[in-house]
Amino acid sequence: MTLPVGLKKALLVAVGLASSGIFTVIALRHLSLYDLERVFAHASLWPWLPLAVLSYLAGHWVRGARCRLLVSREAKLTRSTATNIVVLGYAVNNVLPARLGELARAGMLADRSGLPFVHSLTVTFLERVLDGLVLLLALVVAGLALPEVGLVLTTLQLGGVVFGVAALAVIVAVVAPTWLLALASRSSLPLGARVHRRVVALTGQVTGGVAYLGRPGDALRVLGLSALVWAFEAGMFLALLPAFGLRASPAVALLALGVTNLGILIPSSPGFIGPFHFFCMTALTSVGVAGATALSYAVLAHLAFYIPITAWGLLVILAYGLTLGETLARARRAEPLALGDARAAPARLAHAPEAPSAFLRALVEALVPAEAGEHEAVDGAARFVAGALAALPARLSALHELGMLGFRALTALRFARGFASLPLERRRAWVERWAYGRLTLARQLFRATRSTSLLAFHEQPQIRARLRPELTLLRVKGAA
């Protein structure tokens, strides 16, 4: 039996409200309002509440950076736009039911970036999965510090199932996008052209949404930012503990962070009223905090979580003049391919060369025979090498990056400094042992970087002029 869409929505809202009501009742039973008032009266909000809010807002700034990074291959967003997109999602979740904020966020991302809606929604989903994995990690850390708390294991088991499955789906889409597309296409082909087109298009947008994680280095960068996001949010939970006279224990803050944020995945009212309070309170009572204090803490944490972001989100809506319906409609609009114009297709602008990391630049400098003042040639070569390494097939690229991580780790162990901060002569001597040494594996690890560095360096105008000064002279004469 298929329910009408309107009825489905109404049911969803009703379930959410009922869930909020149930969790609120459970949280409040056995507690008196008098106890709560007493705890609040003795709470010291200054400076802890502003600190908590600042930490939470800083987390959103980092979320913006992460979102920007995840779409950076397809769209150029400013940091503030990306942050506003993230904040909008949170604000809408706070005022509308059924996590509509996720759709709003994807809609605004699609609108601002020009990406297809499903692609944007996948980016949002990906952020959620990353968040879930970091939260599980936070719980593992909390569990190690608080081994006696049984709640950690229960939450880990439940969260592990949900995010384990989601993470597996993401990994398949990241690691084997072409295979996934082929699978989707071949399995939907017998269902008719219309279904096939739709399935393939959706699969393409989903794999596009997670494509940024395709390179191990980029995936690590995103994971690092995710960890930072939740470190800031844990900062909010940590800062509020002393407000109620509790010891500022990072383990307890991580426990509250993990349990609360995984708990609010349960459908509830806008702003997660009820589940937020219940799970936050449960986390604290599990480590021996009194019920009234724990609930007061949860109420304050919720206010820090709710008010600033909702206000910021409303400002975003005003500033960008958004109406959600329009945004979604624009994002879903299809662009037909005009094959009639195919003959005239001009060369597209080549993608900008990859910007080399400081490490790669230092490595290229160590590999090429640059003389004093030839920095520009080294930079040019490093840019080419970065692009060439980025073009390696995924499997070899991963192996190469792993090998280079090993090289960097050994460098740090050997010299107690990062490779890039070593003096040039020492870098050259060290790299020579790898790139030209007796160990075949080490030579092979360095072969791509060595070859492309030397090729590109010796083709730089400055170096060609050094090698063939008579040609430069001829050109000057010719020009004269």
Partner 1 sequence: MTRSAADVVVIGSGAGGAVTALELARAGVDVLVIEEGERHSLEDYGASPPEAMRRLYRRTGMTPITGRVPIGYVEGRCLGGSTEINSGFWHRTPREVLARWSARYQLLGASEEALEPHFSWAERMLGVGPWGREWPMSTRVFARGIEKMGWSYQEVPRAAPGCQGTNACAQGCPTGAKQGMSRSVLAEAERLGARVLTGARVEQVLVRRGRATGLIVALDGSHGSERLTRVDAEHVFVCGGPTETPSLLYRSGVKYHVGSTLRIHPYLKVAARFDEELDADLSVLPLVQVKEFAPELTLGGGFFTPGQLAMTLSENGREGLSRMRDLRRMALYYVGVRGTGTGSVRPSLVGRDGTVIRYDVSDEDVKYLSIGLARLAEALLAGGAREVIPTVYGLPPLTREVDAARWLDEALPASALSLVTVHAFSSCPIGEARALTAADSFGRLHEFENLYVNDASMLPDSPGVNPQGSIMAFARRNVLEFLDRRGAGRRPEEVRP
Residue 71 has what DSSP assignment?
T
Backbone dihedral region of 332: left (phi > 0), alpha (psi from -120 to 50 degrees) or beta? alpha
Residue 465 within binding range of partner 1, rule CB under 8 A: no
Does 467 bind partner 1 (CB under 8 A)? Our answer is yes
Binding to partner 1, residues 109-128 (CB under 8 A): 113-116, 119
Query: Binding segment for partner 1 among 5-13, 199-207, 220-228, 231-239 (CB under 8 A)?
Result: 199-207
Residues in the chain: 480
Applying CB under 8 A, which of residues 9, 38, 128, 196 lies at the interface with partner 1? 196
For position 2 contacting partner 1 by CB under 8 A, the verdict is no
Long-range contacts of 454-462 (CB under 8 A, 24+ apart): 454/367, 454/368, 455/384, 456/380, 456/381, 456/384, 456/385, 457/364, 457/368, 457/369, 457/370, 457/377, 457/378, 457/380, 457/381, 460/376, 460/377, 460/380, 460/381, 462/374, 462/376, 462/377
Per CB under 8 A, the segment of 70-78, 216-224, 303-311, 324-332 that binds partner 1 is 70-78
Cα 404 from Cα 55, distance rounded (Å)? 35
| Span of 138-146, 257-265, 383-391, 415-423 interacting with partner 1 by CB under 8 A | 383-391
Binding of partner 1 at residue 200 (CB under 8 A)?
A: yes
Q: Which is nearer to partner 1, 4 or 190 (CB)?
A: 190
Nearer to partner 1, 376 or 432 (CB): 432
Out of 11, 144, 189, 402, point to the residue binding partner 1 (CB under 8 A).
189
Asked if 440 is part of the footprint of partner 1 (rule: CB under 8 A), the reply reads: yes
**Among residues 8, 73, 375, 414, the one that binds partner 1 under rule CB under 8 A:** 73
**Alpha carbon 439 to chain centroid distance?**
38
- Cβ 208 to partner 1 shortest distance, Å: 6
CA 141 to chain centre: 21
97 binds partner 1 (CB under 8 A): no
Residue among 17, 96, 181, 227 that touches partner 1 (CB under 8 A): 181
Q: State yes or no: residue 333 binds partner 1 (CB under 8 A).
A: no
Tell me the HSE value of 324 on the side-chain side, using a 13 A CA sphere: 13
The verdict on 182 binding partner 1 (CB under 8 A) reads: yes
* Angstrom distances, CA of residue 301 to CA of 190, 277, 425: 53, 9, 54
Tell whether residue 458 is a contact of partner 1 (CB under 8 A). yes
- Contact between 425 and partner 1 per CB under 8 A: no
Please state, as a whole number, how many other Cβ atoms lie within 10 Å of the Cβ of residue 393: 8
For partner 1, the closer of residues 208 and 274 by Cβ is: 208
Please report how close the Cβ of residue 84 comes to partner 1 at its closest, in angstroms: 19
- Size, binding site for partner 1 by CB under 8 A: 83
Query: At closest approach, how far in Å is the CB of 144 from partner 1?
Result: 33
Q: How far is the CB of 124 from partner 1 (least distance, A)?
A: 16
**263-296 exposure pattern, b = at least 16 Cβ within 10 A, e = fewer:** bbbbbbbbbbbbbbbbbbbbbbebbebebbbbbb
Check binding of 332 to partner 1 (CB under 8 A): no
Give the Cα separation of 58 and 235 in Å (integer): 10
Residues 396-415 that bind partner 1 (CB under 8 A): 396-398
For partner 1, which is the closer residue by CB, 251 or 382? 382
> Please, how many CA atoms are within 13 Å of residue 220, restricted to the half-sphere of its CB?
7
Tokens of 205: 């947008």
Site for partner 1 in 265-324 (CB under 8 A): none
Q: How far apart are CA 427 and CA 60, in angstroms?
A: 39
CA distance 82 to 124: 12
Q: Min. distance of Cβ 195 from partner 1 in angstroms?
A: 11
Q: For residues 161-180, which are near partner 1 according to CB under 8 A?
A: 175-179
Among residues 351, 372, 413, 425, the one that binds partner 1 under rule CB under 8 A: 351
**What is the spatial distance between Cα 90 and Cα 85, in angstroms, rounded to a whole number?**
9
Measured CA to CA, the distance from residue 132 to residue 130 in angstroms comes to: 5
372 binds partner 1 (CB under 8 A): no
CB of 39 to partner 1, least distance (A): 52
